[in-house]
Amino acid sequence: MNHEEQVMLVTGAGSGIGRAIAVSLARAGHRVYASMRDVQRKNRERASALLQLAEAESLALEVLELDVLSEVGCQAAVNHILAERGRLDGVVNNAGMLMTGLTEAFSIEQVARIIDTNALSWLRVNRAALPAMRRQGSGLLLYVGSTTARLHEPFLGPYIASKVAGDALAEVLGMEVRAAGIESVILVPGAFTAGTEHFAHAAGPAYPAIEQQYGDLPGRAATLGERLNAIDARHGGALDVMAVGRAAVEVVAMPRGLRPSRVVVDGQQKGTEEIDAVAHEKQVAFLAQMGLKDLAPPPPYRMMELDRRGEWHALGGALM
């Protein structure tokens, strides 16, 4: 395992999964730049809370202004890190938003905005970071994906479209940067109804009059969180977001060349790992036919499982 200090950039680190990853990496001994937008106003309290935690625990964690919707902002943030540290070992693309409701009722502008936030922002951040990683001959691109990219659900149309788009960009870019010594891993969380602000801050459709034409279906959409809570209860309780942080720490600690392409951390135990395994097998076989097997991603990986005592622990092992 690699326990050397890594210089890591985490986007959307003000709350939820991003905060859990930033804190977990810092506690593991890495130097973390926990980024978010509008540090001086909207996210001032979040930034202050992170800095207080870092001081209390003597963590190498700094808060950094970064708006993932701004190409200039992404480059400025990376330039700041390089000026201070001279290198950037890893990027965690986490910043995102949620929309819930009936798909027809969302405006085109809403769908474009969530795809921009949840998918195109990854390309902006990576474009800022990759030149330095290529010069280093090493680097790690980590992404916070979603099980919904594999198993689609109603009432999450724009969100799922954005996660599918991000997943595809991450996977293809991962193949293209491998020759430069840069690795790519997609963390695949299930749904978290607690510990994040996703559901509390989820945007609804712009055209409620369209939803009204669907009878009682909008009412069923409003119970999405309750339905997920019920599934969690059947599996022994909701998974804490820190589990994704622990998964990120384990991925960073893995030796170069042995990291998996995907790591599933799913409290609902949907079984997307099996889909990942089949998709990987078919992908490698096709790339081999094209003479591109050397660019194929490594196998996916099952990270966490709930034991009989209700505790989550690492399983390890590639899904072949």
Catalytic residue of the set 33, 143, 159, 301: 159
Q: Please state whether 114 falls in left (phi above 0), alpha (psi between -120 and 50) or beta.
A: alpha
Report residue 31 as tokens.
Answer: 């130097």
Residue with tokens 């950094």: 64
Task: With CA atoms as reference, report the closest residue to 319 among 253, 273, 254.
Answer: 273
Active site residue 159: yes
Query: Which residues belong to the active site?
Result: 159
